[in-house]
Amino acid sequence: MNRSPSRLSRAIAPLGLACAALLGGCGSDPTWYQVMPVAGAAQSGGPSPVEVRSVSFPSALDRDQIVTRAGDRLTLDSHAAWGEAPAALIGRALAADLAQRLPGSMVFLQGSAIATDPLVLVELNVSQFSGDAQGQAVLAGTLVIHCKGALGQAASVPVHLVAPAGTGTQALVASLSALVGQLADQAAVQIRAMPVVLVPAGPDLPA
């Protein structure tokens, strides 16, 4: 005996609702986050111009999703993602933080439209930029400051900065932004310590 259409519809309806709920959950958009500049103490003096080079970022952490790291285990938050590549976000925030801390210096990002030859190069090699199992936000890596010119001096500084991550992704991202600000504090000190290379005045240059 064939089932009546009404009975068949009642049997299929719960399955259809379950599939719709599953697809809706899988298709929900994540919340997008950015690394924001954090104001610090302005410091006078220092060479100019300053170029912030493209940030080196490990491929294991170069994900859209925001990462929490515990030892060799990475946990990806499917509901929270970076607005663009983490390396680009860090570089832009670091350049903005340095410009605020060194008001007497021109600071710009590598590849920007500014056409000038930098006197100082800032490089950042990141090994960790994430939350950890202890509830801390961690920024680790190496900061390298190069002074171009005849002296060709460079300073390489190991970086390992931590701060309480707080509760939730928004608090973690705010802590990571604050750590980039702390890194800018260190970089500003190193930049100001670099010797300024003076160009001798020539016949066509004012003394």
Instruction: Assign residue 65 the CATH number of its domain.
Output: 3.40.50.10610
Structure tokens, 72: 């060799």
**pTM (2 d.p.):** 0.79
Give the count of domains, the chain.
1
- Longest distance between any two alpha carbons in the chain, whole Å: 107
The pLDDT tens digits along the chain (207 residues) read: 554 545 434 444 444 433 333 333 455 788 999 999 999 999 888 888 999 999 999 887 888 888 888 777 878 888 999 999 999 999 999 999 999 999 999 999 998 888 788 999 999 999 999 999 899 999 999 999 998 764 667 889 999 999 999 889 999 999 999 999 999 999 999 999 887 654 444 444 444
201 falls within a domain: no
The number of beta carbons lying within 10 Å of the beta carbon of residue 201 is 9
∠ CA(75), CA(78), CA(82), 5° rounding? 90
> Which residues constitute the domain of residue 137?
31-193
158 falls within a domain: yes
1 falls within a domain: no
Cβ atoms of 66 and 82 closer than 8 Å: yes
11 falls within a domain: no
